[in-house]
């Protein structure tokens, strides 16, 4: 026991020493808040497949996969070889590359709603470009989005993603709640917030602004809302409303493109006008993309006499991200998608069995190769149902810390998993076993 304590103490000292250095030069000691953990982050030495080894030699199974962006895990050899080859040819040019064209061909063939595509540098940038293109095409100012949905950090995309009972207002007309202090009132006024999957309330809200809404923005399986799919009925109702009112149906598939071979949109009868992409299409490198109808995408076309949306970006379509991305998506073919989704479903079944054995009020939601654990007896069906109280957030943090420090399991901080093709039944068994132990650990605290 003393030896174990000595190892832990040494481990903490090494990580703390790095974090102390980081705090002197990085705000809060980190460059993205999602990796922060108390009393300090842990630092990576190397990663391969579905395993990450930290600077102390501790190997952990990675079920987060860099917030859903690594569909083939870490350091996939085929991707690595292709990127090394491209690195030797150059990393960025003020010229086009043929592989950019090839990747665009691959994606437009994969999803039939993608008539034209533009590459950018992140999911946030893809959504931002989608919103601005929608405004340019419709000549309308307002954006409608679901309460609680995360669409990146653009002012007009992030409103109400952190709405809570003290400020979210009446469900019949949810408030537009800013995330960042100092957000201009004009931004807030141009956001229309609706309750996800609630057709009657949403249509009533949209009708009040019918002449002003450029696009209705939907994530088909919104992680922050609760990671449950949008219903066919809701998508069709919004699609019909946008046809009637000269608005654009815009899908954010930055996370959800992994759900099916042609994205989550393949599960619906109607298709979006525009789609934002990111994460897995970069093969582990920064990327984003906007795809959709040629007529709408034409607002970006430099050949137009009057260019409605001048668009560029220094690293857009850089050959490193494009090279990694095209390999990743070629490998993530229909067979790979079905296999990964099947493994994820098996994991969900095993975790549901662990919930029964532990006898805890816990439920699961998800789609395709991703799922989320809720500390609720019944799976939530709305953002307000899924909302976590301070007490529940504390309990989730305790569970995640236990998994990370004692079971060597990494999950996303919402208690979610995003699977990669490098995972096998062996890792799934470890996950369900670890969660069973974790559920038993927190069980006594549910009633406190």
Residue ranges per structural domain of the chain? 42-71+333-445, 77-331
d(CA 260, CA 264): 6
- Helix 390-406 / helix 425-442 crossing angle, nearest 10 deg: 130
pLDDT at position 11 is 56
Q: Which single residue is written with the structure tokens 């590459």?
A: 119
Q: Of 137, 150, 239, 268, which is the active-site residue?
A: 150
E strands, 212-303, are 213-218, 248-252, 274-278, 288-292
Q: Does residue 54 have an active-site annotation?
A: no
**SS3 label, residue 48:** strand
pLDDT at position 13 is 82
- The whole-number average pLDDT for the span 231-242 is 98
Q: Tens of pLDDT along 218-235? A: 999 999 999 999 999 999
Taking 80 as the threshold, does the pLDDT of residue 6 lie above it?
no
Q: Tens of pLDDT along 287-344? A: 999 999 999 999 999 999 999 999 999 999 999 999 999 999 999 999 999 999 999 9
pLDDT at position 35 is 87
Length of the chain counted residue by residue: 448
Cis amide bond preceding 276, omega within 30: no
Q: Do 187 and 143 contact (CB within 8 A), yes or no?
A: no
Q: Of 140, 145, 271, 279, which is the active-site residue?
A: 279
Distances (CA, A) of 176 to 55, 157, 222: 43, 11, 18
The answer to whether the predicted template modeling score (pTM) of the entire model surpasses 0.85 is yes
Q: Which single residue is written with the structure tokens 């903490």?
A: 12
Phi-psi label, residue 35: left if phi above 0, alpha if psi -120 to 50, beta otherwise? alpha
Q: Do 292 and 273 contact (CB within 8 A), yes or no?
A: yes
Burial of 174 (0-12, 13-18, 19+ CB in 10 A): buried
Taking 60 as the threshold, does the pLDDT of residue 195 lie above it?
yes
Percent of the chain with pLDDT over 90: 94
The greatest distance separating any two alpha carbons of the chain, rounded to the nearest whole angstrom, comes to: 76
Q: Do 316 and 119 contact (CB within 8 A), yes or no?
A: yes
Question: Which band of pLDDT confidence, cut at 50, 70 and 90, is reported for residue 70?
Answer: very high
Q: Does residue 279 have an active-site annotation?
A: yes
Q: Do 329 and 109 contact (CB within 8 A), yes or no?
A: no
* φ, ψ at 417 (rounded to 5°): -125, 140
Q: What is the CATH code for 42-71+333-445? A: 3.90.1150.10
Q: Tens of pLDDT along 117-155? A: 999 999 999 999 999 999 999 999 999 999 999 999 999
**What is the pairing mode between strands 59-62 and 51-54?**
antiparallel
Distances (CA, A) of 183 to 176, 186, 188, 217, 441: 11, 8, 8, 20, 41
- The whole-number average pLDDT for the span 368-384 is 97
Taking 60 as the threshold, does the pLDDT of residue 448 lie above it?
no
* CB neighbour list of residue 39: distance below 8 Å, 6 or more residues apart: 12, 16
- How much is the CA Rg of the chain, to the nearest whole Å? 22
E strands, 147-260, are 191-194, 213-218, 248-252
Taking 50 as the threshold, does the pLDDT of residue 7 lie above it?
no
Q: What is the CATH code for 77-331? A: 3.40.640.10
If you average pLDDT over every residue of the chain, what do you get?
95
Q: Do 218 and 249 contact (CB within 8 A), yes or no?
A: yes
Q: Do 183 and 155 contact (CB within 8 A), yes or no?
A: yes
* H helix intervals, 245-314: 294-297
Taking 70 as the threshold, does the pLDDT of residue 9 lie above it?
no
Structure tokens at 1: 């026991």
More confident residue, 447 or 330: 330
Question: Which band of pLDDT confidence, cut at 50, 70 and 90, is reported for residue 2?
Answer: very low
The secondary structure element, H or E, covering residue 335 is helix 334-358
Closest CA to 143 of 178, 190, 194: 190
d(CA 237, CA 247): 13
Q: Of 54, 155, 190, 252, which is the active-site residue?
A: 252
Burial of 211 (0-12, 13-18, 19+ CB in 10 A): exposed
**SS3 label, residue 250:** strand
d(CA 257, CA 266): 9
In which order are the strands placed within the sheet that holds 363-367?
A: 363-367, 370-374, 416-418
* φ, ψ at 258 (rounded to 5°): -75, -15
* CB neighbour list of residue 177: distance below 8 Å, 6 or more residues apart: 159, 160, 162, 163, 167, 168, 193
């Amino acid at each position: 026991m003393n030896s174990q304590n000595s190892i832990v103490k040494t481990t903490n000292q090494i990580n703390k020493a790095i974090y102390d250095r980081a705090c002197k030069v990085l705000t809060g000691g980190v460059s993205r808040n999602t990796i922060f953990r108390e009393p300090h982050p842990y630092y990576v030495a190397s990663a391969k497949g579905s395993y990450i080894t930290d600077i102390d030699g501790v190997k952990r199974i990675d079920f987060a996969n860099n917030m859903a962006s690594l569909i083939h895990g870490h350091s996939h050899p085929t991707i690595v070889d292709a990127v090394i080859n491209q690195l030797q040819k150059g990393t960025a040019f003020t010229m086009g590359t043929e592989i950019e064209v090839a990747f665009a061909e691959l994606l437009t063939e994969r999803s039939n709603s993608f008539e034209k595509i533009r590459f950018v540098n992140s999911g946030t940038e893809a959504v931002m470009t989608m919103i601005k293109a929608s405004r340019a095409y419709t000549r309308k100012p307002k954006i409608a989005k679901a309460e609680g949905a995360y669409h990146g950090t653009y002012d007009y995309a992030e409103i109400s993603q952190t709405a809570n009972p003290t400020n979210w207002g009446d469900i019949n007309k949810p408030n537009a709640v800013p995330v960042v202090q100092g957000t201009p009132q004009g931004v807030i006024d141009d956001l229309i917030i609706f309750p996800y999957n609630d057709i009657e309330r949403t249509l009533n809200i949209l009708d009040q602004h019918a002449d002003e809404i450029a696009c209705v923005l939907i994530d088909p399986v919104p992680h922050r809302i609760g990671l449950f799919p949008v219903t066919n009925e809701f998508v069709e109702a919004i699609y019909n409303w946008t046809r009637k009112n000269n608005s654009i149906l815009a899908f954010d598939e930055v996370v959800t493109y992994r759900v099916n071979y042609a994205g989550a949109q393949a599960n619906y009868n109607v298709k979006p006008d525009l789609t934002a992409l990111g994460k897995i299409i970069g093969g582990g490198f920064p990327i984003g993309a906007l795809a959709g109808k040629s007529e709408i995408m034409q607002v970006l076309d430099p050949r137009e006499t009057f260019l409605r949306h001048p668009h560029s970006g220094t690293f857009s379509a850089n050959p490193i991200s494009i090279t990694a991305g095209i390999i990743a998506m070629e490998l993530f073919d229909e067979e790979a998608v079905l296999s990964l989704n099947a493994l994820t479903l098996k994991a969900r079944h095993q975790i549901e069995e662990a919930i029964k054995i532990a006898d805890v009020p816990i439920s699961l939601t998800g789609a395709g190769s991703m799922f989320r654990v809720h500390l609720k007896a019944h799976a939530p069906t709305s953002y307000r149902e899924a909302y976590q109280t301070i007490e529940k957030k504390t309990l989730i943090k305790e569970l995640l810390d236990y998994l990370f420090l004692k079971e060597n399991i990494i999950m996303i901080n919402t208690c979610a998993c995003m699977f990669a093709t490098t995972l096998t039944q062996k890792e799934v068994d470890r996950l369900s076993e670890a969660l069973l132990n974790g559920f038993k650990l927190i069980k006594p605290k549910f009633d406190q």
